[in-house]
């Protein structure tokens, strides 16, 4: 890895069409003054509620080497007409100077965990030369910021892209210009803003519009929207690679058996090669995502063997499958943290995995699913079947949206329906005992991460 600065003042000025007040180098980029570290570039964005220019003092106090501003100031800066457009321009410039391969990831579920696992899989073979978007920076501000942070000598870049409305992904993918575009799965997430699940699939398919010529589209074979995604990819000149658990996919699991550590041993069939590896994170959904990862690693010329080793070592992410042992009288309980997000597909997948856990009892703490619009009641009620199939004996339902599910489950298992995460924490403390396996899952805004922090220790 070279020690060249991330950006020089002159490069920033050239990329944004701005004017540099002085020579300076930066080693990072931030638009939140609370995230600024020594040597960073602070971009003073103007939002609906706040103006980053009001936080310039804090940014420089934290060690910012320079800033992008739209009004003159004394400290080192680059003056531009519009700081939001400057962020986009800096992202485009970062992408333009990068000579490696870029992978874009979208989907209704599994975006962040797939992005993180793909980063680990590529990083294992090219230490220090792989860049990815941090956290869930996948929107109109997070994507250009993640691009702007990409070092000039990056070999592989991995970027997550999300959307709530049609047309959003088309803009992001043209910034990222991926060589490989992955759609993990389609589910009725954000269906409040769409007429049908098919409309969601069409919006996700926008990722193919930004593909570099000759690029790869990696599409879920098992999805009911497979043909729609394949056609959209082909219409954009992509080479299509399907992945899935079913035979017939270009990249499929010829065999998948439980591993001793709770994960899955996978025998994968890729075009022209067979590969055996372990996925540390349990669940069919993680096996399926691993196949997409292997397809992407092969498409960009990465090291498949190193990728397999990385997947075997990947722990669950906080809020996305992290597993905690909770000490209780007489032993421990297993708490599975899926608190970051929820939609009907991911709920069913994680409940299915809960049903496979060896446990004295299975407990599900389920928070409301958001942005489901008119279908909310039926989709919440529909969770009854996967709950029963998983052999869940106790359930704590969180939020008013869970009323239809409560009615479906009454009399079938031990049930508590509470208003918020704090009440859920108290209810679970009273309910859990040694030998339990506990799934905690809900939309992020329900705040079940507080429950996990309270019971498993350590604020996230």
pLDDT tens for each residue of 117-170: 999 999 998 989 999 998 768 888 999 999 999 999 999 999 999 887 889 999
Residue 348 pLDDT: 87
7-85 folds as: 3.40.1390
**Where does the pLDDT of residue 460 fall: very low under 50, low under 70, confident under 90, or very high at 90 and above?**
very low
pLDDT higher than 90, residue 345: no
Q: What is the pTM of this model?
A: 0.76
**Where does the pLDDT of residue 352 fall: very low under 50, low under 70, confident under 90, or very high at 90 and above?**
confident
Q: Give the mean pLDDT of the chain.
A: 92
Q: Give the orientation angle of helix 448-456 with respect to helix 421-431, to 10 degrees.
A: 40
CATH number for domain 98-313, candidates 3.40.1190.10, 3.40.50.1220, 3.40.50.920, 3.30.420.10: 3.40.1190.10
Per DSSP, what are the bridge partners of residue 8? Answer: 25
370 annotated to a ligand binding site? no
pLDDT higher than 80, residue 195: no
109 annotated to a ligand binding site? yes
Residue 1 pLDDT: 43
State the span(s) of the chain assigned CATH 3.40.1190.10.
Answer: 98-313
Share of the chain above pLDDT 70, in %: 96
pLDDT tens, residue by residue, 236-290: 999 999 999 988 999 999 999 888 767 889 999 999 899 999 998 888 888 999 9
Cα separation of 233 and 219, whole Å?
9
Q: 322-456 sits in which CATH class?
A: alpha beta
Residue 189 pLDDT: 57
State the span(s) of the chain assigned CATH 3.40.1390.10.
Answer: 7-85
pLDDT, greater one: 54 or 263: 54
Cα-Cα-Cα-Cα torsion 269, 288, 263, 459, nearest 10 degrees, comes to 150
Cα separation of 158 and 32, whole Å?
22
Distances (CA, A) of 444 to 119, 145, 204, 420: 23, 22, 21, 12
Residue 287 pLDDT: 92
The pair of structure tokens assigned to 176 is 């990222």
112 annotated to a ligand binding site? yes
Residue 374 pLDDT: 84
113 annotated to a ligand binding site? yes
Residue 458 pLDDT: 42
State the span(s) of the chain assigned CATH 3.90.190.20.
Answer: 322-456
pLDDT tens, residue by residue, 22-34: 999 999 999 999 9
17 annotated to a ligand binding site? no
């Amino acid at each position: 890895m070279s020690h060249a600065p991330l950006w020089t003042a002159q490069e920033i000025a050239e990329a944004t069409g701005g004017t540099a007040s002085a020579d300076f180098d930066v080693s990072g980029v931030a638009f939140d003054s609370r995230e600024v570290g020594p040597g960073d570039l602070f971009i003073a964005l103007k939002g609906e509620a706040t103006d980053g220019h009001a936080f310039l003092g804090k940014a420089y106090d934290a060690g910012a080497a320079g800033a992008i501003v739209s009004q003159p100031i004394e400290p080192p800066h680059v003056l531009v007409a519009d700081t939001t457009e400057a962020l986009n321009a800096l992202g485009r410039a970062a992408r333009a100077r990068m000579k490696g391969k870029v992978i874009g990831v979208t989907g209704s579920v599994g975006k962040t965990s797939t992005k993180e696992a793909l980063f680990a899989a590529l990083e294992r073979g090219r230490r220090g030369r792989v860049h990815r978007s941090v956290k869930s920076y996948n929107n109109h501000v997070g994507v250009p910021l993640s691009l702007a942070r990409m070092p000039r000598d990056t070999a592989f870049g991995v970027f997550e892209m999300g959307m709530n409305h049609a047309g959003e992904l088309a803009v992001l993918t043209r910034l990222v210009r991926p060589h490989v575009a992955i759609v993990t799965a389609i589910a009725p997430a954000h269906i409040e803003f769409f007429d049908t699940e098919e409309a969601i699939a069409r919006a996700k398919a926008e990722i193919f519009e930004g593909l570099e010529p000759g690029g790869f589209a990696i599409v879920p074979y098992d999805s009911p929207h497979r043909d729609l995604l394949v056609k959209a990819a082909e219409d954009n000149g992509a080479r299509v690679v399907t992945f899935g658990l079913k035979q017939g996919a270009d990249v499929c699991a010829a065999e998948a058996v439980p591993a001793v550590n709770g994960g899955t041993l996978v025998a994968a069939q890729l075009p022209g090669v067979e590969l055996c590896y372990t996925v540390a994170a349990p669940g069919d959904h993680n096996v399926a995502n691993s196949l997409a990862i292997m397809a992407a690693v092969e498409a960009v010329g990465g090291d498949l063997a190193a990728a397999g080793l990385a997947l075997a070592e990947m722990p669950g992410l906080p809020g996305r499958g992290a597993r905690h042992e909770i000490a209780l009288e007489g032993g421990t309980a297993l708490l599975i943290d899926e608190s970051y997000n929820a939609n009907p597909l991911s709920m069913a997948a994680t409940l299915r995995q809960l049903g496979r856990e060896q446990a004295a009892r299975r407990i599900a703490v389920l928070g409301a699913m958001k942005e489901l619009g008119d279908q909310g009641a039926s989709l919440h009620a529909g969770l009854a079947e996967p709950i029963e199939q998983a052999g869940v004996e106790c359930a704590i339902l969180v939020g008013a949206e869970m009323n239809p599910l409560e009615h479906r489950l009454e009399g079938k298992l031990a049930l508590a329906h509470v208003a918020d995460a704090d009440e859920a924490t108290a209810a679970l403390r009273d309910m859990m005992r040694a030998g339990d396996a506990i799934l905690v899952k809900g939309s992020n805004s329900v705040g079940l991460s507080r429950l996990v922090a309270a019971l498993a220790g350590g604020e996230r």
